[in-house]
């Protein structure tokens, strides 16, 4: 499940990192995201021999939990079966972090999800977008300065989701939470 804001006005902004990662996964898996259910755009496919539902809530970010709860209840999905992908201003731009559980931090979309699920026991892939010097709202709702570097980060976040599904959270944490290797 990738968090973001619906509509072309917000497409490919920093705050829509979750949507962009889901779109990358959908393309890799050959999945159409044209279905609508649970207040979300959805697509179904298979990854690593497991059935996967890709979800992009069409509520605004701060109400993401409504869609997550509706989907989880309708499909009887446990919180520990969810993977949420979202932007994080508290991480350096270009960073990808995998967490098995935890607080919402400063992210209102995650606060909504935790409130509606009544638990924080779900996996998350955080995409670092860095802290702005100015207004945070303008910053998160703007496009990336270095689009190529951002695309590489979003692809790494998609790789992290694939690793979680195929090899588990611990393997993904070991692979993606380590500092980048320096090359000579």
Residue-level pLDDT at 166: 93
**Average pLDDT value for residue range 61-81:** 90
Q: Which residues are catalytic?
A: 15
Superfamily of domain 8-176: Peptidyl-tRNA hydrolase (3.40.50.1470)
Average pLDDT, the chain: 88
**Average pLDDT value for residue range 125-130:** 91
For residue 114, what pLDDT band results from cuts at 50, 70 and 90? confident
Predicted model pTM = 0.89
Residue spans of the domains in the chain: they are 8-176
Residue-level pLDDT at 124: 92
Report the alpha-carbon distance of residue 16 to residue 3 in Å, rounded.
Answer: 7
Residue-level pLDDT at 105: 67
**Average pLDDT value for residue range 164-180:** 85
Residue with tokens 């009544």: 118
Residue-level pLDDT at 41: 93
All residues at 6 or more sequence positions from 161 whose CB lies less than 8 Å from its CB, including other chains: 21, 25, 83, 85, 125
Query: What is the C-alpha radius of gyration for the chain, rounded to an integer number of angstroms?
Result: 15
CA-to-CA dists, residue 4 to 64, 78, 110, 172, angstroms: 8, 22, 11, 23
């Amino acid at each position: 499940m990738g968090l973001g804001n619906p509509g072309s006005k917000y497409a490919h902004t920093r705050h829509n990192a979750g949507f962009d990662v889901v779109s990358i996964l959908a393309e890799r898996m050959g999945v159409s995201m044209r279905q609508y259910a649970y207040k979300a755009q959805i697509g179904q496919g298979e990854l690593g021999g497991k059935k996967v539902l890709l979800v992009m809530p069409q509520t605004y970010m701060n109400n993401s939990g409504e869609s997550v709860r509706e989907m989880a209840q309708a499909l009887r999905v446990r919180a520990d079966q969810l993977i949420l992908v979202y932007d994080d201003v508290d991480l350096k731009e270009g960073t990808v972090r995998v967490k098995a559980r935890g607080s919402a931090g400063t992210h209102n979309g995650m606060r909504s999800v935790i409130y509606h699920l009544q638990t924080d026991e779900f996996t998350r892939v955080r995409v670092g977008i860095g802290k702005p010097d100015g207004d945070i709202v303008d910053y998160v709702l703007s496009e990336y300065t270095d689009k190529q570097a951002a695309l590489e980060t979003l692809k790494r976040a998609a790789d992290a989701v694939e690793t979680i599904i195929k090899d588990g959270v611990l393997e993904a944490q070991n692979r993606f939470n380590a500092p980048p290797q320096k090359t000579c």
